[in-house]
Structure 1
Amino acid sequence: MAIELVPIEQFQIFLICAARIAGFIGAIPVFSGAQTPVQLKAGLVFVVSLVLFPAVASTLPSLTTFEPATFIVFLVSEVLIGAIIGLIARLIFTAVEFGGTIIGYQMGFAAANVFDPQNERQISLISQMQNVFAVLIFLAISGHHVFIRTAVESYRILPPGGIDFSGEAVPFLMELASHMFVLGVQFSAPVLAVLLLSGLILGILARTFPQGNVFLLSFPLNIAIAFTVIGLTLGMVFIVLSREFDNLADHFFTMLTLLNG
């Protein structure tokens, strides 16, 4: 029984497809961390690429000759597309961490940090708590499915090798980055407002009763107030994060269109 070998052209096209899928899978916040085994990532990339390859093969370029330089450029550009898409999604989680850092600093947790295995760095306790909450919301509303749908539609919007940074792609990315700071302030604004009011009241008490040790009282009081406000505003945070995650698909498709020039 003769064994049919896969034509080199089809194999190259499959690798190009797998490169973009690898970029998208690696960009999903749940899988982007170092705590996810590499074997799991590789297996998921292979399975998803195998499933999507027949559907997107018609949109992929026809490679009639094996040119290593051109082939490597194709692979790098495909992985870069996934990295850019991942950066857009990552900006939301960075805004959550930014807001948590501000809250932690104001409530007295400035020196209390924990190791974040996903990003392999030290972050504040409140940032880690809000980051976990954001990941749970992301999974609950099937945000990871947006990456798969975008990966399929991306071949129609942006053919392989057609990435172009000379248009409005970079300004659009900078606009999203500036929105990250606004979003971070929105997350921390309720807690900051209450803590500011608490500090004002404690300052008045310190002037009214100089013999009282208001300074030591402020630490547990601010922590209790901050956690209370965080608990009361979880519904608002859920609404804001759900809105941002729902807009991810539009941001993805806009970026892909701008990258196409």
Structure 2
Amino acid sequence: MVEVTSAQLYGWIAAFLWPFFRLLALIGTAPLFGESTIPGRVKIGLAAMTAMVVSPTISGLPVAPIYSFEGLLIILNEVGIGLATGFTMRLVFAVVQQAGEIIGLQMGLSFASFFDRASGGQTMVLSRFLNIIAMLLFLAMDGHLLMLGALVDSFNGLPIGGTPLAAEGWHAVARAGGMVFSSGLLLALPMIAALLTLNLAMGILNRASPQLSIFAVGFPVTLSGGLLVLMLVMPQMGNYMQHMIESGLDAVNMVLGQFGR
């Protein structure tokens, strides 16, 4: 007959819960995993299954009770690591959405918006379209697996414990947030240049022929020209999005490395 003591049972539960908090924080905030369209039970189940696989490979688990003050500090550390990792990767998709907002505004598609459950507000159609493309590219590159693998590997570089996380890690997250505006503008720059040239041409045409109503023909011409340029630029956008995803994965590794200092 197999006998299990309360100490052994508590040890098994603790070995499962410590990595579970870090994984759940990542899955709740990371792109693809953290989408609001995915039920919360699915996220918890995925984090639990991953924790059951990962927990036997983790050594040096803390002996502090989960319900103690030290256990609370450990939980906060684990949640902070997971949140920082997921948020850093989500910044890549914020770049794509920012570029879509800029392009849609230049094309005159700012009125074409709908309620997006993922962002919790009104989102331009073009911004959502580019975000879907980036998400499919993220899946094709196995970015979700690389991101999850980076967090699992962090249990070696960032062992579970109550030691406060290094401030350099949070500084790295803040620096990564700066790429939202710069990279988003670079992604939208070809469209901005083309539409600016088109608007300048329409302005010159209006000066040359005042009888031409620029307000009557300007919007359809800008919209048609923007869609044509977007069709031509899309292949190059895919390469830039791939570069951004790779940069996001590098930023995740950098943030995790800075936390371990």
User: Shared fold (TM-score greater than 0.5)?
Assistant: yes
CA offset at residue 100 of structure 1?
0.8
1:203-222 per-residue CA deviation (whole Å, 9 max, x = no partner) reads: 01111111111222111111
State the Cα deviation string for residues 111-135 of structure 1 (Å, max 9, x = none): 2221112222211121111111111
Mapped to 1, the partners of 2:260 and 2:78 lie a distance apart of: 13
Q: Does 1:22 align with 2:24?
A: yes
Provide Cα deviations, 1:169-215, integer angstroms capped at 9, x if missing partner. 23322221112211101111111101100001000111111111122
For structure 1, the residue ranges without an aligned partner over 5 or more in a row are none
The alignment's C-alpha RMSD in Å is: 1.8
Give per-residue Cα distances to partners, 1:229-257, cap 9 Å, x unaligned. 22211221111111122233322221112
For the residues of structure 2 that align with 1:30 and 1:249, how far apart are their CA atoms?
A: 14
In 2, Cα distance between the equivalents of 1:64 and 1:79?
17
Distance in 2, Cα, partners of 1:189 & 1:66: 51
**Residue 179 of structure 1 aligns with which residue?**
179
Shift in CA distance, 95/204, structure 1 to aligned 2, threshold 3 Å? same
CA contact (8 A) 2:21 2:78 kept: yes
Amino acid across the alignment from 1:237: M
1:218-237 alignment to 2 at 5 Å? Answer: 218-237=218-237
1:23 offset after TM fit, Å? Answer: 1.5
Identify unmatched segments of 5+ residues in structure 2. none
Structure 2 contact 92–248 (Cα < 8 Å) conserved: no
Distance 1:108 1:66 in 2: 55
- In structure 1, what is the Cα distance between the partners aligned to 2:225 and 2:190? 11
CA distance in 2, matches of 1:59, 1:244: 36
Give the aligned partner of residue 113 of structure 1. 113
Structure 2 letter corresponding to 1:162: T
Query: How do 1:4-23 residues align onto structure 2 when only pairs under 5 Å count?
Result: 4=4, 6-23=8-25
For residues 147-226 of structure 1, what are the structure 2 equivalents within 5 Å?
147-160=147-160, 161-166=162-167, 168-226=168-226
- Equivalent-residue separation in structure 2 for 1:50 and 1:108 (angstroms): 51
Which amino acid in structure 2 is aligned with residue 70 of structure 1?
E
Report Cα offsets for 1:43-62 as digits up to 9, x if no partner.
11111111111112x1433x
Q: Secondary structure at the match of 1:247?
A: helix
Q: Which secondary structure does the structure 1 equivalent of 2:15 belong to?
A: helix
Aligned-residue offset at 1:80 = 1.5
Supply the distance in 1 between the matched residues of 2:64 and 2:103 (Cα, whole angstroms): 58
Paired-residue identity, %: 28
Residue 142 in structure 1 maps to residue 142 in structure 2:
yes
Q: Partners of 2:64 and 2:111 in 1: how far apart?
A: 60
Task: Give the aligned residue type for 1:37.
Answer: P
Question: Which residue of the partner structure matches residue 125 of structure 1?
Answer: 125
Q: Deviations over 1:139-162 (max 9, x none)?
A: 111110012211221111112233
What is the aligned residue count? 258
Contact 2:65 2:71 in 1 (8 A): no
Q: Using the TM superposition, give the Cα deviation of residue 77 of structure 1 relative to its aligned residue in structure 2, in angstroms.
A: 1.7
**CA–CA separation in structure 1 for the residues paired with 2:181 and 2:67:** 44
